[in-house]
């Protein structure tokens, strides 16, 4: 029989003092929609061998006794969502499987490794992070779902900022972060079945150096790259995808004009494209207006992506 303590919709309780539960040992503590600001460790510790689920959500919690978590040997789920926590220390638990801290006021995660070998779900979404806790996720070898939507990660996701070490990673949610650019290797350690959700950001250009490695891994499995509701420029900057249908299938999103990315025929662009300086594309020809010395000593590429694959499929005339 599961023994549970529950408080729901109570605006008169501000803290849970010692002795409130007597000598009861519980498997579940559930507190929601209250004015609770703090909880004494001795409210929880009598259940240290039995407690599986602890939830204190939609309240005003300002501090939590994280230091007792190593003693809670059966604790699997810790839900502290929608409170007023401002920082989180390094966690140590051999049993924790899910930690939910979204919708707090967390600005920092204290330096140090998390020792949570069984953790499968971590949600730190919608917290005003001053810096991303890269060290937190590196040692989570069983992590399946990571949520960091609305975490102030933009405008640039830096190289090595998210480096996962889990072979079972299924979802990385980075929605609503005002991300406009990814540096190469900004997201590392994904596998063929990982879905990366970049919905509702400010990405305009799918840079080949940043996105090709991700899509190539996903093309080997069921993974997807979700980029809906980004102002994607569907022009010659997507040329690197022209002859890569396996990669295009892994993209889910639309252009700024509403065209589905999967419906684009990138080989049939009718607009001029800046493959090289003084270059105009008018299918089926690419006309290069180049000085003779350029032909002898090589061509300096412009800032636009090359079209190495598509040039092989086109006739080329030099003027």
- Which pTM does this prediction carry? 0.83
What tens digit of pLDDT does each residue of 236-277 get? 888 888 888 899 999 999 998 888 988 877 655 444 454 433
Residue 129 has pLDDT above 80, yes or no: yes
Q: What are the structure tokens assigned to 291, written together?
A: 């000085």
The domains located in the chain, with CATH, are 4-267 (3.80.10.10), 279-318 (no CATH)
pLDDT at residue number 304: 43
Identify whether 128 is preceded by a cis peptide bond (ω within 30 of 0): no
Q: Which residue has the tokens 């003092």?
A: 17
C-alpha–C-alpha distance, residues 59 and 43, integer Å: 17
Q: For the segment 175-199, what is each residue's pLDDT rounded down to a tens digit?
A: 999 999 999 999 999 999 999 999 9
pLDDT tens-digit readout, 79-103: 999 999 999 999 999 999 999 999 9
User: How would DSSP label each residue in 248-301?
Assistant: HTTEE-BBTTS-BGGG--GGG--S---SSTTEEEETTEEEE---HHHHHH----
Classify the phi-psi angles of 252: left when phi > 0, otherwise alpha if psi is within -120 to 50, otherwise beta. beta
- Give per-residue pLDDT as tens, 58-67: 999 999 999 9
């Amino acid at each position: 029989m599961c023994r549970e303590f529950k408080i729901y919709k109570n605006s008169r309780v501000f803290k849970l003092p010692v002795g409130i539960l007597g000598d009861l040992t519980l498997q579940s503590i559930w507190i929601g929609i209250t004015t609770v600001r703090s909880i004494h460790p001795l409210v929880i510790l009598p259940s240290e061998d039995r407690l599986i689920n602890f939830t204190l959500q939609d309240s005003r919690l300002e501090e939590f006794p994280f230091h007792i978590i190593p003693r809670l040997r059966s604790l699997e789920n810790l839900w502290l969502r929608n409170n007023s926590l401002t920082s989180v220390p390094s966690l140590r638990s051999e049993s924790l499987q899910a930690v939910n801290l979204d919708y707090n006021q967390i600005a920092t995660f204290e330096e140090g490794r998390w020792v949570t070998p069984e953790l499968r779900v971590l949600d730190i979404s919608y917290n005003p992070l001053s810096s991303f806790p890269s060290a937190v996720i590196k040692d989570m070898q069983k992590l399946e779902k990571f949520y960091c939507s609305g975490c102030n990660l933009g405008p640039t996701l830096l190289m090595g900022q998210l480096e996962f070490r889990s072979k079972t990673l299924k979802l990385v949610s980075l929605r609503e972060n005002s991300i406009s650019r990814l540096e190469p290797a900004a997201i590392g350690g994904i596998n063929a079945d990982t879905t990366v959700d970049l919905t509702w950001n400010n990405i305009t250009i799918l840079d080949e150096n940043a996105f090709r490695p991700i899509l190539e891994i996903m093309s080997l499995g069921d993974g997807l790259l979700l980029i809906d509701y980004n102002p994607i420029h569907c022009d010659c900057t997507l040329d690197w995808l022209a002859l890569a249908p396996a990669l295009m299938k892994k993209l889910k999103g639309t252009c700024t004009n509403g065209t589905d990315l999967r419906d684009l025929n990138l080989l049939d662009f009718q607009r001029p494209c800046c493959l090289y300086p003084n270059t105009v594309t008018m299918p089926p020809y690419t006309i290069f207006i180049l000085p003779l010395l350029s032909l002898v000593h090589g061509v300096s590429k412009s800032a636009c992506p090359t079209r190495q694959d598509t040039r092989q499929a086109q006739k080329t005339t030099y003027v």
